[in-house]
Amino acid sequence: MKTCLFGGSFDPIHSGHLAIAQAAVEQGGAERVVFLPAACSPFKTGKTAYFPAEHRLDMLYRATQGIAWAEVSDLDLILPPPSWSWRLVEVWRQQHPQDELFWLMGTDQWELLHKWARYDYLTEHLHFIVYHRGTPPQPREGVRATFISGEHPASSSAIRQALQNGTPVPQDWIPQGLGQYPQPH
Q: What is the pLDDT along the chain (185 residues), one digit of tens a residue?
A: 999 999 999 999 999 999 999 999 999 999 999 999 998 766 555 678 899 999 999 999 999 999 999 999 999 999 988 889 999 999 999 999 999 999 999 999 999 999 999 999 999 999 999 999 888 899 999 999 999 998 889 999 999 999 999 999 999 999 998 888 887 76
Q: Are strands 32-37 and 70-72 parallel, antiparallel or unpaired?
A: parallel
Instruction: Check residue 81 and give its pLDDT.
Output: 82
Instruction: Please give the pLDDT value at position 142.
Output: 94
Whether residue 180 lies inside any domain: the answer is no
In a domain, 147, yes or no: yes
Query: Is residue 85 included in any domain, yes or no?
Result: yes
Question: Looking at the 3D structure of the chain, how many domains does it have?
Answer: 1
> CA-to-CA distance for 161 and 173, rounded, in angstroms?
14
Structural domain contains residue 79: yes
23 domain-assigned: yes
Structural domain contains residue 184: no
Nearest to 2 by CA among 88, 69, 57, 55: 69
Q: Where are the beta strands (DSSP E) in the chain?
A: 2-8, 32-37, 70-72, 100-106, 127-132, 145-149
Compute the half-sphere exposure of residue 26: CA atoms within 13 Å on the CB side of its CA: 10
Res 185: pLDDT: 60
Instruction: Please give the pLDDT value at position 179.
Output: 83
**In the prediction, which pLDDT does 115 show?**
94
Between CA 45 and CA 143 the distance in angstroms is 27
Q: What CATH number corresponds to the domain at position 122?
A: 3.40.50.620
Q: What's the confidence (pLDDT) of residue 45? A: 55
Minimal CA–CA distance to 8: which of 73, 62, 67, 68? 73
Domain that holds residue 61: 2-175
Has residue 111 been placed in a domain? yes
Residue 65 lies in a domain: yes
Q: What is the DSSP letter of 81?
A: S
Angle between helix 53-64 and 15-26 (nearest 10): 50
